[in-house]
């Protein structure tokens, strides 16, 4: 690092003093905290993003958002060259940067890391970081802090992409690094044209849903997703989309609205009531990377029937499996590529969903909790589908399989599209373009759900009846050191402290359809307990019993 670069870093970082007595950690969601605590951290993540761009020779993304957190919070996270999350290898460096006590310490950290990683800071190499923010009032000031961080690295450019959903920024980064046009309008056009393609390929015998069934009412969480969905719906034809709780409607972000609220509380969001009975309803979270559906019963008293991420996964899996079977059976297309389809869940997936997917003959895999683990595993398949119950997930297509589909569909003349195999190839290629393969995206997910329901001729009630969730309960046990609990087998088995897993097994065995696991939280000093059983009373009792076991074995707190 030359003198000019050192001087620039020292001068710019002196304007951003880290908050005293606060230690921040970069997790799955990046850094999140009360917005007033974040200017220094966001500035330093801007530096990290520029260094990451220099290291990879690619465009990097930086998003200012706190997703489903309250409006006074904010956060920052990085989108890597493929549009995914920051490489886990760089997370310790992110933590060290955020918590460096002074500009001098910061400079030492950067010098050491740059030397270790072999990052060339010669003032000649160029870096580019795309910046995005959601609708939070604190977003503008934090975006400026990020810009100053990026431009404190000589040769780095910060490009402000404006107010976006988080998935839009991830999509843009992925597209730019693949040499594809990546404006917001390009995003809207790719999603809408792929949706229309799938509509055109709906079987003739499946009459399109009409009237009230052709309508979906969407809760925008008083965030950015509602605004963007209004733009997107103008490019659609048959689908009627009514947006409520959009950011310009005057409501408070994530307050009594949004996918996180609906999924956890299982009640209608603000702006919904019994008049919406029988209509498909959906809810986005604050930055539109989560999606859940719900049904308002005629006499609901505020309660809902939740159609969560597990059922979205099941719907996608049924449709994609059907298309693959058409490809395999079709003689008109030489199927030289036997595509491997895989489904990925965490232990938090309801056991009924896992049993259902296995009964379909699908390959079901489990990973530890966290999108980074799910995404990595899904990428091992020709088509990998992952979703968490909270509504975050996507479908990944391998480049080789997309290439195979593109080659096969080029052989199909525009007038043919006759055989089911030909149509299946076109459908799968359209799905690969409609779904956001960089990250979970509520807008692209919503369109894919809607067109599959049309394709199947299903109402939301028919979809919801695929299986019935087992009753479950989640608790947390306060501990002094969550790292005292060590797990294996995708966090479903405790290996330390010794004897705890055996005690959990003994307790779980007392309940019909009982299942229970414990895992240390990734964000706070608690151990989380998840339990399922055939009745809600049994699930509650099992979770309480296991919470007491955790407390007894650790001897460090109470539930």
276 a known binding residue? no
499 a known binding residue? no
State phi, psi for 32 to the nearest 5 degrees: -140, 140
368 a known binding residue? no
204 a known binding residue? no
DSSP string, 317-351: HHHHHHHHHHHHH-SSS-----PPEEEEE-TTS-H
523 a known binding residue? yes
551 a known binding residue? no
Catalytic residue among 12, 13, 53, 67: 67
7 a known binding residue? no
388 a known binding residue? yes
CA distance 7 to 2: 9
CA distance 466 to 313: 12
CA distance 425 to 407: 10
CA distance 11 to 59: 26
249 a known binding residue? no
158 a known binding residue? no
258 a known binding residue? no
Do 476 and 521 touch, CB atoms closer than 8 A?
yes
Number of residues that make up the chain: 559
67 is catalytic: yes
- Of 248, 44, 255, 52, give the one whose Cα is nearest residue 163: 248
Annotate 387-417 with b (16+ C-beta within 10 A) or e (fewer): bbbbbbbbbbbbeebbebbeebbeebeeeee
287 a known binding residue? yes
522 a known binding residue? yes
CA distance 42 to 147: 9
Do 295 and 464 touch, CB atoms closer than 8 A?
yes
CA distance 72 to 80: 27
Annotated binding site for Mg(2+), which residues? 67, 285, 287, 289
Annotated binding site for substrate, which residues? 388-390, 519-523, 528
Annotated binding site, which residues? 67, 285, 287, 289, 388-390, 519-523, 528
Catalogue the active-site residues: 67
């Amino acid at each position: 690092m030359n003198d000019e670069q050192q001087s620039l870093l020292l001068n710019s970082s002196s304007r951003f003093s880290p908050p005293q007595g606060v230690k921040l950690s970069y997790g799955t969601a990046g850094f999140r905290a009360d917005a007033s605590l974040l200017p220094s951290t966001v500035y330093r993540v801007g530096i990290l993003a520029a260094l990451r761009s220099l290291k990879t020779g690619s465009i990097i993304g930086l998003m200012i958002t706190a997703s489903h957190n309250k409006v006074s919070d904010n956060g920052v996270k990085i989108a890597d060259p493929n549009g995914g999350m920051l490489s886990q290898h760089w997370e310790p460096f992110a933590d060290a940067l955020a918590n460096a006590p002074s500009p001098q310490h910061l400079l030492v950290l950067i010098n050491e890391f740059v030397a270790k990683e072999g990052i060339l800071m010669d003032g000649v190499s160029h870096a580019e970081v795309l910046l995005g923010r959601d609708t939070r009032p604190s977003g503008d000031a934090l975006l400026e802090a990020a810009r100053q961080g990026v431009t404190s690295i000589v040769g780095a450019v910060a490009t402000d992409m404006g107010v976006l959903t988080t998935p839009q920024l991830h999509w843009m980064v992925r597209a730019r690094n693949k040499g594809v046009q990546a404006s917001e309008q390009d995003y809207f056009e790719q999603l809408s044209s792929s949706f229309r393609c799938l509509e055109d390929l709906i079987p003739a015998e499946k009459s399109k849903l009409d009237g009230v069934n052709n309508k979906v009412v969407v809760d925008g969480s008083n965030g950015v997703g509602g605004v963007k969905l209004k733009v997107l719906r103008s490019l659609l034809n048959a689908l009627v989309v009514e947006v409520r709780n959009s950011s310009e409607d005057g409501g408070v972000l994530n307050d009594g609205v949004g996918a996180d609220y609906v999924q956890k509380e299982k009640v209608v969001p603000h702006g919904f009531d019994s008049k919406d009975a029988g209509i498909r309803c959906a809810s986005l979270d604050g930055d539109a990377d989560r999606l859940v559906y719900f049904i308002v019963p005629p006499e609901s008293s505020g309660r809902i029937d939740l159609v969560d991420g597990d059922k979205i996964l099941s719907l996608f899996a049924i449709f994609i499996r059907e298309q693959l079977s058409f490809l395999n059976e079709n003689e008109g297309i030489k199927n030289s590529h036997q595509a491997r389809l895989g489904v990925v869940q965490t232990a938090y997936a309801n056991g009924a969903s896992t049993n259902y997917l296995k009964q379909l003959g699908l390959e079901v895999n489990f990973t530890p909790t966290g999108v980074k683990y799910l995404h990595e595993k899904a990428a091992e398949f020709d088509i990998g589908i992952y979703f968490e119950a909270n509504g975050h997930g996507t479908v990944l297509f391998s480049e080789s399989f997309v290439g195979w589909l593109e080659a096969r569909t080029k052989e199909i003349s525009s007038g043919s599209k006759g055989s089911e195999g030909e149509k299946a190839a076109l459908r799968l290629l359209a799905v690969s373009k409609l779904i956001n393969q960089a990250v979970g995206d509520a807008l692209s997910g919503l369109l894919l759900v809607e067109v599959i329901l049309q394709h199947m001729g299903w109402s939301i009630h028919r979809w919801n009846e695929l299986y019935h969730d087992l009753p479950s309960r989640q608790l947390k046990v306060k501990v002094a050191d969550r790292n005292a609990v060590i797990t294996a087998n995708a966090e479903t088995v405790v290996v330390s402290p010794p004897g705890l897993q055996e005690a959990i097994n003994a307790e779980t065995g007392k309940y019909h359809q009982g299942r229970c696991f414990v895992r240390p939280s990734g964000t706070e000093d608690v151990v989380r307990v998840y339990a399922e059983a055939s009745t809600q009373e049994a699930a509650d009792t099992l979770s309480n019993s296991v919470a007491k076991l955790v407390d007894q074995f650790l001897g460090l707190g109470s539930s």
